[in-house]
Chains A and B, each alone.
Chain A
Amino acid sequence: MADSIVRVEALGKRYRIGGKQAGYRTLRDTIMNTLTAPFRSGAHRIPKKGEPAMTSDEAFWALKNVTFDIAPGEVVGIIGRNGAGKSTLLKILSEITEPTEGRVEIGGRVASLLEVGTGFHPELTGRENVYLNGAILGMKRVEIEEKFDEIVAFSEVERFIDTPIKHYSSGMHVRLAFAVAAHLEPEILIVDEVLAVGDLAFQSKCLKRMQSLKGKGMTILLVSHNMAAIQSCCSRAVLLENGGVCADGKVLEVIQRYQHTLERHEASTSEHRASENGMRNSFGAEIVKCHMFGDSGDNRRQFEFGEAVRVRIDLRVEQRIPNPMINVGLKRADGVIVCNFNNWYDGFKVDFLEGSCTLEGWLPELRLLPGFYEVHVLLWHWGGGHIPGDMARAMPIVARRFGELHISGPAFNHHDGVFQVPAKKWLFTRNGSGVEYTGMTSQSIWRAFDEIVSEPANAAD
């Protein structure tokens, strides 16, 4: 296809695993293996030229039969659980390692950012490191010279630019490293989990920069575990599972698919976990399930902005737990705890838990902004006392994380906060005459949003 800038065909990558540390041998081992090889029984396969001998149990396919195309200007998120093959894929695309089979065609200049600050040397000054790192990332010297002031301004370390970076704080270090990376202008940018470093402000700076590069028509491949970031940056996502493409399509649909695989995975391990918990807590208590329902009682994980959510928690308790406290917490994908719902806080006392119990909470219309929220359930035991708020005497028994709750709607970024509630009333006075407004509805925000985005986009920074 002429209209794709990256073309991946039946890509596969095999690594060796097994008793010996992968691929790292000593000379003695090799000599001994070579000497003893003729006397060993079985598997007398002679390896092909340039191919290491490998039996199937020490071979591990990090990627297998991966195929997809990327059109110029597309921003594609690569998602998947740890070990799904995301990083291996990026390593192959950035030419760091060779595929074992298949092929990749790339029709443009590639810059890959698998780490910020690669090659930074602690003994060199900030200035020297900018040049060195720029060269390592593939910038030409004249180009670095041209952009130097811009890079330094972006990093906010002007005062220390001639100080060896071993004296930098870790924040300054990361800012300088990112500033260099942010001024790369390739046709294809490959980014691996770079957003995971740094604080929230830094992450949003990264996201902003990414948006502006996107505006310039750059093709971007982004690996991240931060679903909110993937959702706000990418138009398309590819879900990898066990080294293969499991889903490829619109970002929201793929993310949902990912959530489902996570839940399935959780379900399959929950039994194992139950026995683990049984050993740890003397009550034999277990949080079996956490379901979420819409207003009409339909079981789902995806809600519209402003919808009410019902949460049902199934518990199984062997030993009676008096005065239990059950807490349902929501955490945004970037780790910010949004809110907690708790039977104790709401003054609802349950005398004890025993056998199988269910607690259902009808949460209010939260008006959480679109994004992903983790659901955490926690069971506490009040150590005999009855003093609400005396957290020191409360003992956590079990805690579990239950997948994610997804609120859909237009993309917002973290600057917009966590939730949006209209004011109760607006009063405006000009030259003595006033207007009162109370006409806001849950839909107002979308209308306003539409008006904002229909304005010609001015560069993100």
Chain B
Amino acid sequence: MPSHIAPSRPIVLEPSRGWVSINLRKLWQYHELLYFLSWRDVKVRYKQTALGAAWAIMQPVLTMVLFSIFFGKLAKMPSDGVPYPLFAYTALVPWTLFANALTQSSNSLVQNANLLKKVYFPRLVMPISSVISGSVDFLCAFVALAAMMLYYGALPSANIVWLPFLLILAFGTALGVGLWLSAVNVQFRDVRHAMPFLTQLWLFATPIAYPSSLLSEPWRTFYGVNPMVGVVEGFRWALLGTKTVPGPILIVSTAVMLLILVSGAFYFRRMERTFADTV
């Protein structure tokens, strides 16, 4: 029989009070919807654009060019012994993934207001699918990164096996913040106006244009409370073999990411009941 909503016992609909569980099992029942919504976002993103998916590469590449001119050439920013363009671009690839995922997921509920009002599905599907849809852009940008590494003759170290973990860290942070902001956005549209400012601020609070080695310990480890510090430094360490092992940073970053993600999920679930009425 059809439909994946297959209750073994009756569904009970009651007013909920206070905090509710995240209910991952129900979320899993809707994994196909998750897939279809991400797929839709990917399909639609570059429709009716002249450059199409090239935008996915151009965004980080153009930023890299700017950074190389202003920070690399003019400000003579140190770059941990790596050519500055490669140094910046390696950080910009996960950063672009993060920034886009964050923006998309923060707007996901408001953008899909008609769905919220007309159909039931676990609302968590919405921000999660918009975070996932960013991964295609990431793949495009990553291919360009591989080409650039070849050009500069930089071979990745064995640490590259950590890359998936670093990606999860980036996704988790984007989703965690996205959960908070998307739920707030339903009630306060201020979020939409604050988003560009927030991402810009966060960009400079992350060692993309500069290395985190400018800081001395223990500040460097403490810097990891911004989880993107762990991601960016991790990427450089795994792909370019920069000397600084980001172990302690990564532990701090992961802990903070988990904190944001779990609290975001609970906050989201708590606010969920009013979404259809307020959006």
| A interface residues with partner B (beta carbon < 8 Å) | 15, 22-27, 30, 48-51, 91-112, 114-115, 118-119, 121, 123-124, 128, 131-132, 135-141, 143, 184-186
Contacts and interface: CB of A to CB of B under 8 A. Distances in A.
B115 A23 contact: no
Interface in B1-45: 1-7, 10-18, 32-33, 35-37, 40, 43-44
Contacts of A103: 12-14
B4 A98 contact: no
A119 B121 CA distance: 13
Nearest to A98: B273
Contact of A97 (B3, B14, B187, B276): B276
A140 B40 contact: no
Contact of A24 (B13, B16, B118, B278): B278
B50 interface: no
Given A135-B32, A141-B32, A186-B2, A118 B276 contact: no
9 contacts: A50-B270, A97-B273, A98-B15, A98-B273, A103-B13, A128-B43, A136-B36, A141-B36, A185-B2
A25 B188 contact: yes
Interface string B109-137: 00010111111110000000000000000
Nearest to A115: B118
A104 B12 contact: yes
Contacts of B6: 109
B189 interface: yes
Nearest to B112: A119
Contact of A109 (B7, B44, B116): B7
B178 to A, nearest CB: 18
A92 B11 CA distance: 12
A141 B35 CA distance: 10
Contacts of A143: 2-3
A118 B48 contact: no
Contacts of A109: 1-3, 5-7
A104 B13 CA distance: 5
B217 interface: no
Interface in B232-254: none
B98 to A, nearest CB: 25
B187 A23 contact: yes
Nearest to B184: A27
Contacts of B40: 121, 124, 128, 132
A98 B17 CA distance: 11
Contact of B36 (A23, A100, A106, A135): A135
B273 A131 contact: no
Interface residues of B, number: 45
Contacts of B32: 135, 140-141
A106 B15 contact: no
Given A115-B118, A123-B44, A131-B36, 12 more contacts: A105-B13, A119-B115, A121-B40, A124-B40, A124-B44, A128-B40, A132-B40, A136-B115, A137-B119, A141-B32, A143-B2, A186-B2
Nearest to A30: B188
A136 B277 contact: no
A91 B275 CA distance: 13
A97 B277 contact: yes
B3 A140 contact: yes
Contact of A95 (B47, B117, B120): B120
Contact of A23 (B37, B273, B278): B278
The binding surface of chain A is classed by DSSP as: loop
Contact of B187 (A25, A111, A135, A139): A25
Given A23-B277, A23-B278, A24-B278, A96 B117 contact: yes
A99 B14 contact: yes
Most buried by A among B10, B11, B12, B119: B119
B119 A24 contact: no
Nearest to B270: A50
A87 to B, nearest CB: 10
Nearest to B36: A135
A140 B1 CA distance: 10
Contacts of A137: 119
A114 B3 contact: no
Contact of B116 (A25, A96, A105, A186): A96
Contacts of A136: 33, 36, 115, 119, 121
Contacts of A50: 16-18, 270
Contacts of A141: 32, 36
Contacts of A101: 15
Contacts of B117: 96, 114
Given A96-B120, A98-B273, A185 B3 contact: yes
A85 to B, nearest CB: 14
A319 B187 CA distance: 57
Contacts of B7: 106-109
A5 B37 CA distance: 31
A26 B4 contact: no
A98 B117 CA distance: 12
Contact of B118 (A23, A114, A128): A114
B15 A123 contact: no
A185 B189 CA distance: 38
Contacts of A184: 2-3
Contacts of B33: 135-136
A138 B11 CA distance: 16
B36 A132 contact: yes
Contacts of A186: 2-3, 5
A124 B48 CA distance: 11
Nearest to B44: A123
B3 A96 contact: no
A105 B12 CA distance: 5
A103 B117 CA distance: 20
A91 B117 CA distance: 8
Nearest to A9: B14
B13 A95 contact: yes
A252 B114 CA distance: 35
B120 A94 contact: yes
A57 to B, nearest CB: 19
A110 B13 CA distance: 13
Given A118-B115, A135-B36, A140-B2, A100 B44 contact: no
Contact of B276 (A22, A96, A102): A96
Contacts of B273: 97-98
A185 B187 contact: no
A243 B166 CA distance: 53
B43 A124 contact: yes
Nearest to A96: B276
